[in-house]
Amino acid sequence: MSSSTGLELVFAFAYIIVGSILVTCLLTVFKFDISHTLTTKPGAYLTSALNSACETCLCLFSVADPHSAPKGEPSSISRGYLQDLPHRSGARPTVQGCLNPRQTDQLPAFDKDINGRLRQLITDTSAKYPESTYLGRSTFEGGNATLFARHRVFDQTKYYGEIVGMHVNDDSMTVTIHPDDVRAVIENGWGQRHPLSSRSATWLRYSTTSAHRVPKAGTQVILYAPRNQEELNLIEQVINAAVWWVGGIDSSLRKESFC
């Protein structure tokens, strides 16, 4: 991409952001009740069209090959948390979407309450480390159980935002983990890169939110939904890896102490 094209994209998005702010201000000044409008049939069509347009725009910044680990500089932290991750059997499931990626096949059928069990894993982790983590709402997926870090421990992450967030519709998860663990998860077939973990998408998120709320490019992955109890146990290991990377807590220690 030429420098002129890059500048054109920057200005285009700047105009979109400024325009959105102006429209919001006007609606506020004139006290326009947009919630009532959106409940009507034309409003529903408008919402659908806006969501589709947003999805299309974001896909321009998405990861080109989500099944390949990102290439980057070696981590100053010698190695990741997941050293002996086994290989996942079978083909990868299909994941669609950029803003709210969802797994569309190979959904869990071994336990009717798998959604509740995954949610319990997250809430138990928060209860175990109350001084370092807390439960909140995902930045992009409101309403889903999401675990956050209270503090930044590793300077390299420059981040203490979302650790792990579950997707209630398909039981997959978004986790933020060490670059070595990203490679281990992807190469062993347990997940793929989050569509918006590219450098360009990360830059866009930096420009619209607080820097500490945006993970380092290439460190967020979609973790596939578990197909059996063994895979559910493995997901717990990956959650522990995310808690260590973002929150600095080693689950092998009984007490809540930073690494």
101 and 220, same domain (yes or no): yes
State how far the Cα of 160 lies from the Cα of 258, in Å rounded to an integer. Answer: 14
- Is 16 part of a structural domain of the chain? yes
Q: Are both 34 and 143 inside the same structural domain? A: no
Whether 87 is covered by a domain: the verdict is: no
What domain range is 39 assigned to? 3-59
Q: Residue 97: what pLDDT?
A: 84
> Poorest-confidence range of 97-106, 125-134, 202-211, 230-239?
202-211
pLDDT exceeds 50 at position 235: yes
Does 149 map to a domain? yes
The answer to whether position 153 is within a domain reads yes
Average pLDDT over residues 44-65: 69
Q: Which residue has the higher pLDDT, 86 or 158?
A: 86
Do both 105 and 206 map to the same domain?
A: yes
Residue 77 is assigned to a structural domain of this protein: no
Does residue 222 lie within any of the structural domains? yes
Residue carrying structure tokens 């326009």: 32
Reported pTM: 0.72
Q: Residue 211: what pLDDT?
A: 47
Q: Which amino acid, one-letter code, is at 162?
A: E
pLDDT higher at 101 or 253 = 101
How far is CA 230 from its chain centroid?
A: 23
Whether 193 is in a domain gets the answer yes
**In the predicted structure, residue 24 carries a pLDDT above the cut 70:** no
Residues 25, 99 share a domain: no
- Mark whether 54 and 112 lie in a shared domain: no
Residues 109 and 159 in one domain: yes
Q: Based on the domain organization, do 42 and 157 belong to the same domain?
A: no
Average pLDDT across the chain, whole number = 76
* Residue among 197, 243, 240 at smallest CA distance from 220: 197
Q: Are residues 114 and 189 in the same domain?
A: yes
Q: Give yes or no: residues 138 and 205 share one domain.
A: yes
Q: Which 8-state DSSP code applies to residue 35? A: H
- Assigned domain for 45 exists: yes
Number of folded domains that form the chain: 2
What percent of the chain is modeled with pLDDT above 90?
26
- Model confidence pLDDT, tens digit, residues 142-197: 557 888 888 765 555 555 578 898 888 899 999 999 999 999 999 999 999 988 87
